[in-house]
Structure 1
Amino acid sequence: MTDQDAGPGPGRTPRLPPRWFVRSAWVVHRGYYRVTGGRRGLWRPQPDKWGTLLLRTTGRRSGQEHAVIVAYFEDGANLVTLAMNGWAAPEPAWWLNLRAEPDAAVVMRDGPRDVRAREAEGEERERHWATFRQLGTDVDGFSVRRPHTAVVVLEPR
């Protein structure tokens, strides 16, 4: 048994469901959002829980629009999320798209918004990481599965 298999605890990586299950859950979530005409599937963050938004990016190779639902919290007018790809090692495609074309759009529970993405660094990154810790996400434990997890700030355009 490896540390990754052992579950939560000091120096241990929390267990994750199989990759196919994580990916399927997000596909079902997007489908639920579409089937309900956008009436369900997105929620605003609460003081102790992150919210969800639909992020629309432009494909870096195809030039076509792509949509993904991500967790977020608000920092003033900015929206903050993690480029975590279900905690798998590769960078999520939506983050690669935003690095190539940072202008994007989001749909939130209270409507659409145009945004520009950037990666938080230094003190800002630490502050946002700490907020995700408070929101009940074991970011420290899960992040050891990845070489780097970008903290993404979506600023209003």
Structure 2
Amino acid sequence: MVISARRKRAVMPPMGDPESWVFSWSCATEAAVCASFTRGICRALPPAYNRCAVSDYSGGIMNNKDIKPYSAKQEQFGTWLINRIGRWQIRVYEWSGGRLWKKFLGAPVAILTTVGRKSGLERKVPLLYLMHGDSVVMTASKGGMSTLPVWYLNVKATPEVAIQIGKQKNRYRMREANAQEEAELWPKLEAMYPDYQEYRQRTADIRHIPVLIFDPMQ
């Protein structure tokens, strides 16, 4: 991300206030990520990210004929970008006790800690979440890509996880939502983060996007 010296001087908070600096940086980074994702991943499919495109709704999914699956190169770039920015988001989130970079495009973010199914090592990933009573709901959407995210495979192998929301970190056990639960949860998830509608349509002929419910462990 390139920021001109003039722009840096305009937005740089006092050096004695590192939290304000990180907040400004995290907000600027989120904007840059969205712009990069749109330019890099969707350059070959501009209508797919055209919010003015005529769409209709059926079965809870946005039906826009211009939305197509990503190409292999688009997914390669998208995976690289998500992983790189995700590592920074985890650092900022944990450093600030969940006060900074706690949202993405208005949707709340939590840090999910899993056990690698092959390595046995601790793995962390920032994910959008929805509270459902005392349970936490997440989706294995991977931005509408054709493959399941690695963290989902880890959770399937070891359902016991830790989730940090703000500065609170608790233990949960994962279960996959059944059809009735999915029908109840998808409208709430899409209201929280409307791009889920696009993700579901983009993967409609490729794979099912699992909805995961993390119940608190006693």
Identify the TM-score tier after normalising by the shorter chain. Answer: 0.7 to 0.9
The equivalent position to 1:151 in structure 2, one of 211, 214, 217, is 211
> 1:73, CA displacement in angstroms?
1.0
Partner of 2:102: 42
The equivalent position to 1:102 in structure 2, one of 159, 165, 169, is 159
How many angstroms apart in 2 are the aligned matches of 1:37 and 1:74?
Answer: 20
Normalised by the size of structure 2, how large is the TM-score?
0.60
- Answering whether residue 199 of structure 2 is matched by residue 139 of structure 1, we say no
How many angstroms apart in 2 are the aligned matches of 1:86 and 1:34?
Answer: 21
Equivalent residues in 2 for 1:25-40, closer than 5 Å: 25-35=82-92, 37-39=94-96, 40=100
- Residues 61 and 36 (structure 1 numbering): CA distance in 2 closer, same or farther, change over 3 Å? closer
State the secondary structure of the residue aligned to 2:186: helix
> 1:50, CA displacement in angstroms?
2.7
Bigger helix fraction: 2
Aligned Cα RMSD in Å?
2.5
- Answering whether residue 133 of structure 2 is matched by residue 76 of structure 1, we say yes
Normalised by the size of structure 1, how large is the TM-score?
0.81
State the secondary structure of the residue aligned to 1:63: coil
Larger Rg: 2
Q: Which amino acid aligns with 1:84?
A: S
- Residues 63 and 15 (structure 1 numbering): CA distance in 2 closer, same or farther, change over 3 Å? closer
State the secondary structure of the residue aligned to 2:95: coil
> 1:36, CA displacement in angstroms?
6.5
Q: Which amino acid aligns with 2:215?
A: E
How many angstroms apart in 2 are the aligned matches of 1:93 and 1:22?
Answer: 11
> 1:37, CA displacement in angstroms?
4.7
Q: Which amino acid aligns with 2:126?
A: I
- Residues 66 and 36 (structure 1 numbering): CA distance in 2 closer, same or farther, change over 3 Å? closer
Contact 2:107/2:192 (<8 A) preserved:
yes
- Answering whether residue 88 of structure 2 is matched by residue 88 of structure 1, we say no
Q: Which amino acid aligns with 2:163?
A: V
How many angstroms apart in 1 are the aligned matches of 2:177 and 2:119?
Answer: 27
How many angstroms apart in 1 are the aligned matches of 2:118 and 2:177?
Answer: 25
How many angstroms apart in 2 are the aligned matches of 1:36 and 1:142?
Answer: 25
Provide the aligned length of Structure 1 versus Structure 2: 149
- Residues 38 and 128 (structure 1 numbering): CA distance in 2 closer, same or farther, change over 3 Å? farther
